[in-house]
Chains A and B, each alone.
Chain A
Amino acid sequence: QSALTQPASVSGSPGQSITISCTGTSGDVGGYSDVSWYQQHPGKAPKLIIYDVDSRPSGVSNRFSGSKSGNTASLTISGLRSDDEADYYCNSYRTSDTLVFGGGTKVTVL
């Protein structure tokens, strides 16, 4: 089971916007609306920040937004802050009743 493809790292200055891509196939990201994003700070459990491609759980900042085009989902963080520095993972349903994560993206705030 190959993971979804994410860039290893993305960086930006405070206040800027950054976008993280998550590329799969028609058998996962492209074929279903069941795509989520997780934020993980070092030593902590992951936290759900986006589900169903572009929905935000209650309590998650509206600086986080999601979208999808074809086989690629994207997470955009606007108004970048120092506490956004973390690892980010996409997750998607995949055909044959499995789920798959992306390899993860380390976000650095310069």
Chain B
Amino acid sequence: QVQLAESGGGVVQPGRSLRLSCASSGFTFSQYALHWVRQAPGKGLDWVAGISYDGSIKYYADSVRGRFTISRDNSKKSLSLQMNSLRPDDTAKYYCARDESGYRSSRWDYWGQGTLLTVSA
């Protein structure tokens, strides 16, 4: 069955960097776009970034553009999010989600369980 599993969260100081990963199994990874979505404690969902099936097109929310970089390795069936210049308001659980299209849509049919990032001094 389709599975997505995020890792790499933790506690980091403001201004530092961290890299999140999302491992996949159970489907043809290279055929689907993917997204990162975050949820601050007690708050709503917040789209962060998306990437097309082949990695050629990347999309970012204004709040992270220039600080975060989304990437994928289709040979390893993995998705990554490199986060630089972290701020306290980046504190959230980060989910990876599979997009049913190959490029970009709001139709995300599978989600991981999330990994928690805390940005604090």
Contacts and interface: CB of A to CB of B under 8 A. Distances in A.
Interface of A: 1, 3, 34-36, 38, 40, 45-48, 51-52, 57, 87, 89, 91-93, 97-104
B44 to A, nearest CB: 4
B47 A100 contact: yes
A92 B47 CA distance: 10
B114 A45 contact: yes
Given A1-B63, A46-B111, A100-B47, 11 more contacts: A1-B61, A1-B62, A35-B106, A45-B95, A45-B113, A46-B97, A48-B109, A51-B107, A52-B107, A93-B104, A99-B50
B104 A101 contact: no
Interface string B95-120: 10100100011111101111000000
B59 A98 contact: yes
Contact of A3 (B44, B50, B111): B44
Nearest to B57: A97
B2 interface: no
10 contacts: A1-B61, A35-B106, A36-B106, A45-B111, A46-B108, A47-B111, A93-B106, A98-B60, A99-B104, A104-B45
A92 B45 CA distance: 12
Contacts of A89: 44-45
Given A45-B112, A46-B111, A52-B107, A101 B62 contact: no
B105 A34 contact: yes
Contacts of B109: 48, 57
A3 B61 CA distance: 12
Interface string B23-35: 0000000000001
